[in-house]
Structure 1
Amino acid sequence: MRTYTVHLPRDAKPGDPAAYERATLVRDGFNWAAFFFSVLWMLWHRLWLAALLTLIVLVAFSMALDALGIAQDMAALASLLLASLIGLEASTLRRWTYARRGMPIVDVVSAPDHDAADALACRRFMDRAAAAASVPVPPPLPPRAARREEIAPFGFSAEGAR
């Protein structure tokens, strides 16, 4: 089973099919495409800021390895480790970017593939509106008048001062 996060715009109303059409599912876990094609993968997913920062880090990392005179096999291993880190954190970068753009995580689903996850997330999103409609809302409590002797600064009670 794979885990997916569901991202919807902040103004999405539960049960609105048009709102769910804008949903985005992000699979959690290692991303092989981001491992092999880090900057291109980020540009494909419109992660502009992450792509720019990754490009800067990759170039600076390569220049630092050359400046330090690191052997080619060790430099290749270090680059492989950096690419592994990018592959591990690629989904997190997508989630961060969606949250920054006003599409926070609204649900997490586990399913064998993307289509099953989409169907499950859609069903849960539509059922959430039915559940919200069936729960009665209690009436608001009447305002309580504050008595002068009940108000005490910094949490100290009036009885403790005697």
Structure 2
Amino acid sequence: MTTYTLHLPRDARPGDPAALDEAEIVKDGFSWGAFFFTVLWFFFHRLWLAGLIVLVALAAFNAGLNLIGVNPFAGFVAEVLLSVLIGLEANSLRRWTYERRGRPLADVVIASSKDEAEAKAFARWLQRPAPSRIPVSSPVSSPLSSAIRPSRGVEPVIGLFPDAERPR
């Protein structure tokens, strides 16, 4: 099973089917397309900034290998390892680009294929109720404020325990 992430526009409301027209599903794992086609894969997915960064990194890496006079076989192995790194991080760069463009992470789905992940994510999105607003007249009378406000005085906690030790 593979993990997939759903990216929707920032202003999308839960349960709104119109938001799913602009949905993007991204696999969380190795990208064979990015491994074999590197920069072309980034440009195909319209990841212009990430593609340019990868292009500059590849050019600088090859120039560095030529500058220090690395054995051709060792240079080939180094380039394959760099391509493996790009394949591992390509989908993370894709998620970063979507976040930067105003399409934050909306859901995470575990599925065996992209089609199954899309069906699960869309079904979960459509089943979510619209968020309701809780009217708050004053911060003291709010039901949420009593949960946030500490019940006793503020005491510093030292160590890894979540609560300070109660006095005996």
Instruction: Output one character per residue of 1:113-142: Cα deviation in whole Å (capped at 9) or x when no partner.
Output: 111111110111111126x46xxx654253
Give the letter for the 1:142 counterpart: S
Distance in 2 (CA, whole Å) between partners of 1:143 and 1:32 is 53
Q: In structure 1, the residue corresponding to 2:102 is in which secondary structure?
A: coil
Identity %: 52
Partner of 1:142: 138
Instruction: Output one character per residue of 1:63-120: Cα deviation in whole Å (capped at 9) or x when no partner.
Output: 1101101000110111011100000000000000000000000110001111111111
The two structures, once aligned, show a CA RMSD in angstroms of 2.0
Structure 1 stretches of 4+ moved >4 Å: none
Q: In structure 2, the residue corresponding to 1:37 is in which secondary structure?
A: helix
Q: In structure 2, the residue corresponding to 1:5 is in which secondary structure?
A: strand
| Greater per-residue helix proportion | 1
Distance in 2 (CA, whole Å) between partners of 1:139 and 1:11 is 22
TM-score by length of 2: 0.79
Give the letter for the 1:13 counterpart: R
**What is the number of equivalent residue pairs in this alignment?**
143
Give the structure with higher Rg (CA). 1
Matched, 1:55 2:55: yes
Gaps of 5+ in 2: 141-153, 155-168
Give the letter for the 1:106 counterpart: A
Cα displacement (A) at 1:21: 1.5
Q: In structure 2, the residue corresponding to 1:142 is in which secondary structure?
A: coil
TM-score by length of 1: 0.82
Matched, 1:92 2:92: yes
